[in-house]
Structure 1
Amino acid sequence: MQKIQHDSQTKQLFRAILIGLLAGIVVSLFRLAIQHLLEFVGHSFQYFHTHPVWLIPWALGSVVLALALGIMAQRNPNIKGSGIPQVEGQLTSQFDEKWWPVLWRKFVGGILAIGSGLYLGREGPSIQLGATVGQGVAETMHANQLDRQVGIASGAAAGLSAAFNAPIASTIFILEEVYHNFSPVIWLATFVSALCSNLVSMVFFGLHPVLDVPYNHMLPTRYYWHLIVLGLLLGLLGRFYQVVILRLGKWTAKLKWLPPFAYPVIPFLLVMPIAWYWPQTLGGGNQLIGLLHQLPISLWLFIGLFVLRFVFSMISYASQLPGGIFLPILTLGAVLGAVYCALMVQLGLLPARYLPNFVIYAMAGYFACISKAPFTAILLITEMVGSLAHLMPLATVAVTAYLVVDSLHGEPVYTAMFNAFIGKHPQRCEHSATVPVTIYKGAALDGRLIKDFDWPANSIVTLIYRGEDKLIPNGKTKLMAGDTILVRANFAPDKRAYRQIMNAAHRADV
C-alpha cells in the first residue's frame, strides 16, 4: 500500500514538473509577445506625431481587429475576461471546458487585446493558459479525475508564476482565492509547478524584479498611523471598484444599439488618444508603476492618472475581450498610494521621500481588499518588489483594507465573477466528480462520524488525508479538523450537493 502511494505521489510530482516547464514556456512567450506589441504601438504613435495622416489607416485597422476579436470572444465565451472564474469553476467541479480551443484562442486573443494598449492585465489570462496546459498534460497522460484537478491547479499556479516571477504568492493565490482550499493534495504539486515555471520565466526575462520600485528610506514607526488611514481609504475605494466591475455586464447590456461583438470597437478607438498623449500608461500598467517615483509630486496629476486608469480599465474590461484585472488593480493601488502621499506632503504631514514606499504599500492593500486575499497580496508584492523589508507595513495596510471591505459585505471579486459566469453558462447535465475538501476547526463535520452526517444523495467519502497518513474511511470513522477528505458525488447544475459539502466542512451553522 505504501509503495502504491509513493508511486502515485512520484507520478504527480513528475506531472507537476512537466506542467510547470510547459506552462512557463507558453506564458513567457505570451508575456514576451505582449511586451513587443506594446513597444510597437508606442513607437508607431511617436511616428504619427510627425506623420498624422497614418492615423486614418491605423483607426480603420483597429476597427477591423476589434470586430474580429469581438466575434471570436462572443463565439467562444470561455476565453472572455481574465479566465480566473473559469479555472475556479473547474477546480470546484462546477464547470468544465476543452483545453486546446481555449489555449490557442486565449493566447492569440490576449496578445492582440492587451498588446494593442487596452488597460487589461496579462496575469488572469496567464492563469487560464497555465490551467489549460495542466489540463492537457493530465488528459494526455490519462490521469484520473482528482489528478486532472491537481494538474489544472498546478498549471494555474505556474501561469501566474511565469507572469509575475512570484512562485510562492502564485501558489498561495490559487489556494486562497481560486481553490479556497489549503489541501495537502494540491499545495505541493502547485508549488513545484510554480517553481519550475518561474525558472523558465527567469531564462526569458532575467532576475530583475517585475515591479522595480526603488526606495531609499524605510518608513519610521512614527508615521505608521498613515498606514491605517491609507488602508481605510483603499478599503472604501476597493469596495467601489467591486461594485462597478460587477455591474459592467448589466450596464453594457443596455447598449441595445451596439451588438456585443462590436463592444471592442469603443476601447480600440479610445486607446488612440491615450497612446498619443500618455503612451506610458498603455497596457496593464507595470510601466506606469515604475515611473511614478520619477514624476513630480502633484496631487492633481496623480488624481488624473487614477481617474484615467479607472475609467478606461472598466471600458476595456467591458469589451469582454481576453484580458484580466489583476495588474490593473495593482496599478490603481500604486497610483492611489501616490495620491495619498502627495496629499500628505501638501498638508505637511509626510516627507516626499516616502512616495515609493506608499506606492508599494497601496498596491498590496488595494489588491487585498478587492480580491479578499491578503496573504497573496502581501507575498505577491514582496516577491515582485524583491525585498522583505516591507512586510510589516504591507500587512498593516492589507489587513486594514480587507477589514473595511469585509465590513461592507464585499465578496471576493473573482468569486463574484465566477458566480455571475456560471449563472450564464450552467453545466447542462449532472456529472460525477471527486472533490478534495479540507475540514475547518469548529465546522459541522469537525468531530463527527461519517455515518452521522446527512450526505447528499449518491455521494461517498473515498479517502481521508490526515497529516502524512491516508485513511480508508467507513461509517464509523471520526472526521477531524485539518482532515482533507475526497468526496465522490454527483454535481447537478444547481450546485446544491457541492454547497452542502463545502458548508459542512467550513461552517458550524449548517
Structure 2
Amino acid sequence: MKNDLLNLLTDWQKLKSRKHNLLLIFYSLLTGTLSGAVVILYRLGLDKIGILREKLFENLSVWNFCTGIFIFILIGVILQFLVMKFPLISGSGIPQVKALLMQKIHFRWLPELILKFFGGLLSIGVGLSLGREGPSIHLGALVGEGINEVTGRSEMEKKYFITCGASAGLAAAFNAPLAGVIFALEELHKFFSPLLLICTLIASITADFLTRIFLGYHPVFNFEVTAPTEFNSLMEIFLILIFGIIMSFMGKLFSDNLIKFQKVYKKIDLNPYFKAAGLMLIAFFTAFLFKDITGGGHNLIEKITQYPTPVLILFLLLAGKFLYTLISYSSGFPGGIFLPMLVIGALLGKIYGIFIVNLFGVSDIYITHYIILGMAAYFTAVVRAPITGIILILEMTGNFSHLFALTFISAVSYIITEFINLEPVYDVLFNNMSFASNKDINKEKKIITVTIPVIADSKLSNKMVRDLKWPADTLLAGIRRDGNEFIPNGNTILKNGDLLVILTDKEKASVIAYYLYEMGTIVKFSKKNRTKKGVTLFIRVTPLLYIKNSLPYSAAFSNPSLL
C-alpha cells in the first residue's frame, strides 16, 4: 500500500517536469505515427475488399452466386467465433476505449489489435452497414496501449497514450486532425489539461500527415459549394431551427432503436452461428439488390450530392440505410456507426433541401447546404458532441463558409435533445457492456489518482479543506493552481480554477470521482432549489459547457483521472 502511494505521488510529480513532458510529447508523436500507419492500412484494405465485393456481383453467374453465399456465410461464422472469443473487439470500439480510460477493463492489445483489424475488414467488406471510424479509434487506442506496455511507462501516462491513439485514429480515418483532438477531449474525457491537449494534437497531426502522404491531400467530401444567401438572416435561422428540431427527434429514434435491436438480436433463441449465417444471407442479398446502402456509405453521400434523386428514392434509401445499420450493429461484429449516421443525416438533409427549393423556388445550392447541415445536426443529436460535429464536417468538406449555419444547427440539435432526455449514444452503449463477465477486469485493489476541477460558484469554490465533507477512502494529495503545485492542509482555501489531485481506491474511483466532480463543477441556478419532477436542475460547467438536467449514475466520471 505504501509503495503504491509513493509510486502515484512520484508519477504525479514527474508530470511537472518539463523534461518528462517533452518525453511524453515524443511518445505522443510515436503513437500518432504508428496509429496513423495502422489506420492507413485499414483504409486501404477496406478499399480493396470493397472492390472485390463489387466484382463478385458484376458478373453473377450461378456458380458465383452459390460461391458468394458460401463465402458470406463462412465470413459470418469466422466473425461470430472472433467476437465470442474476444468480446472486446465487437462493435465500434469507442465504448471499450471509454471503459479502458475508466479502468473497468484491460486490453490484450496485440491479439485484439490484429483481430479488430481483420474483423473490421471482413464485417465491412461483406457490405454490412458499418463504418471504419469507430474501429479506427479503437485501433489507435490499442496502439497506445501497446506502446505503454512495451515501453513500461506508468499507469498515469498510459491514459495519454490511449487518448493520443484514439484521436490519431479518427484523424487518419477522416483526414480530420482537429476533429480527432476534439472528439478525444469532448467525448472520451469531457475535460482536458494543456498537456493532454498538446499531446493529442501532435498525435492527430502526425497521423493526418501520414494519411495525406499515402492517401492524398484532399477532404473526404468534395462539396464545391458556398453557403447560400438567398434568404434574409431571420428566415434562414427559422428554416435551420425547424430542421434542427426534426433532426433531434430523428436522432432519438435512431439511438433508442439501436439498443432495442441489440436486445432483440440477443433474445433470438438460435445458435449464435446460425444467427450469424442468417445475417450474412441478409448482407448478401442486400449487396446484390440494394448495394447503395451497404458499407459505411461514403459513395452514397457523394452520389446524392452530385446527382438529382427522386424524393421517393431518397425515402427508400433513408429507410433502408436506417434499418440495415440497426441490424448490422446489433450483431456485435466489428464496425462503427459514425459514417452511417452521417449518411442518414445527409439523406434527411437532401429531403429537407428539396422541400425548401420546391416551396420557395430558391436555387439547388440549398440542397447541398442542408446535406452538410444534416450530417452535423444528426451527429450532434446522436453522439451529443456538438463541437466535434462542427469541426468534423468543416474538415470533411474543406469549406468554412457554412460555419455559422453548422454552429447554429448543432446548438439547436444539442439543446432539443437535452430537453427530450436523449443520452449520448456511446454512453448508452458503454452502460450496456457486460463488465461482470469480462475476464480482463483487474480485480486487484489498487490506489489511483483522479483530478477534480474547481469551477466558480461550485460547492468546492472558496471553501476551506477542513470544512468540506470528503468521501471515505480519499486523500487530497495536492492542488495545482496557476501553474504551481503544492500540498494543502486543513486551512487551505480552494480557489476557482484549482485542479485537485486526489488519491482513492481503484474500485471506488468511479463513484467517488463522480461525486467530487459534481461538487466541483455544478452551479445551482439560484439559492432556492428549482425542481422538475423531483430532480434538481443544475448547470455543469466545464471548458466545453456541458449542460444537463440530470446525469445517469452509471455515467460515473472518468476523464478527471488524467492530470
Which bin holds the TM-score, normalised by the shorter protein? Answer: over 0.9
Measured against aligned partners, the alpha-carbon deviations of 1:42-78 in whole angstroms (never above 9, x if no partner) come to 1221121xx2431111101111110111111022111
Residues 116 and 486 of structure 1: CA distance in aligned 2, closer, same or farther (over 3 Å): farther
C-alpha separation in 1, matches of 2:387 and 2:252: 19
Residue 5 of structure 2: aligned partner: none
Q: 1:440 aligns with which of 455, 458, 473?
A: 455
Q: Is the 8 A contact 2:72 2:281 kept in 1?
A: yes
What is the Cα deviation at residue 4 of structure 1? 6.4
Residue 46 of structure 1: aligned partner: 58
> Does the residue aligned with 1:347 lie in a helix, a strand or coil?
helix
What is the Cα deviation at residue 467 of structure 1? 4.3
> Does the residue aligned with 1:492 lie in a helix, a strand or coil?
helix
C-alpha separation in 1, matches of 2:521 and 2:84: 37
Q: Is the 8 A contact 2:56 2:64 kept in 1?
A: no
Q: Any unmatched runs of 5+ in structure 1?
A: none
What is the Cα deviation at residue 339 of structure 1? 1.3
Residue type at the aligned position of 1:6: R
Residue 480 of structure 1: aligned partner: 495
Residue type at the aligned position of 2:159: Q
Name segments (4+ residues, structure 1) moved above 4 Å: 1-4, 422-428
> Which is further off, 499-508 or 332-341?
499-508
> Which is further off, 474-483 or 178-187?
474-483
Residues 127 and 357 of structure 1: CA distance in aligned 2, closer, same or farther (over 3 Å): same
Aligned pair count reads 507
* 2:416 paired with 1:401: no
* 2:218 paired with 1:218: no
What is the Cα deviation at residue 299 of structure 1? 1.4
Q: Is the 8 A contact 1:114 1:121 kept in 2?
A: yes
Identity %: 30
Q: Is the 8 A contact 1:92 1:179 kept in 2?
A: no
Residue type at the aligned position of 1:233: I
Residue 25 of structure 1: aligned partner: 37
Q: Any unmatched runs of 5+ in structure 2?
A: 1-12, 525-535, 537-563
Residue 199 of structure 2: aligned partner: 189
C-alpha separation in 1, matches of 2:508 and 2:483: 35
What is the Cα deviation at residue 352 of structure 1? 2.5
Residues 57 and 143 of structure 1: CA distance in aligned 2, closer, same or farther (over 3 Å): same
Residue type at the aligned position of 1:337: G
C-alpha separation in 1, matches of 2:106 and 2:468: 29
Give the TM-score normalised by the residue count of structure 2.
Answer: 0.85
> Does the residue aligned with 1:322 lie in a helix, a strand or coil?
coil
Residue 484 of structure 2: aligned partner: 469
C-alpha separation in 2, matches of 1:216 and 1:458: 57
Where do residues 155-304 of structure 1 align in structure 2 (5 Å cutoff)? 155-215=165-225, 218-222=228-232, 223-224=235-236, 225-256=238-269, 258-304=270-316
C-alpha separation in 2, matches of 1:316 and 1:120: 7
> Does the residue aligned with 2:476 lie in a helix, a strand or coil?
strand
Q: Is the 8 A contact 2:227 2:401 kept in 1?
A: no
> Does the residue aligned with 1:95 lie in a helix, a strand or coil?
coil
Residues 170 and 432 of structure 1: CA distance in aligned 2, closer, same or farther (over 3 Å): same
C-alpha separation in 2, matches of 1:226 and 1:55: 48
Q: Is the 8 A contact 2:452 2:513 kept in 1?
A: no
Residues 182 and 279 of structure 1: CA distance in aligned 2, closer, same or farther (over 3 Å): same
Q: 1:385 aligns with which of 397, 403, 411?
A: 397
What is the Cα deviation at residue 456 of structure 1? 3.2
Q: CA RMSD in A?
A: 2.3
Residue type at the aligned position of 1:172: I
Residue 157 of structure 2: aligned partner: 147
Residue type at the aligned position of 1:292: I
Measured against aligned partners, the alpha-carbon deviations of 1:316-343 in whole angstroms (never above 9, x if no partner) come to 0011001111111111101110111122
What is the Cα deviation at residue 347 of structure 1? 3.3
What is the Cα deviation at residue 494 of structure 1? 9.1
Q: Is the 8 A contact 1:94 1:491 kept in 2?
A: no
Residues 172 and 464 of structure 1: CA distance in aligned 2, closer, same or farther (over 3 Å): farther
Measured against aligned partners, the alpha-carbon deviations of 1:150-205 in whole angstroms (never above 9, x if no partner) come to 11111111111111111111111111111121233422111111111111111121
Give the TM-score normalised by the residue count of structure 1.
Answer: 0.93
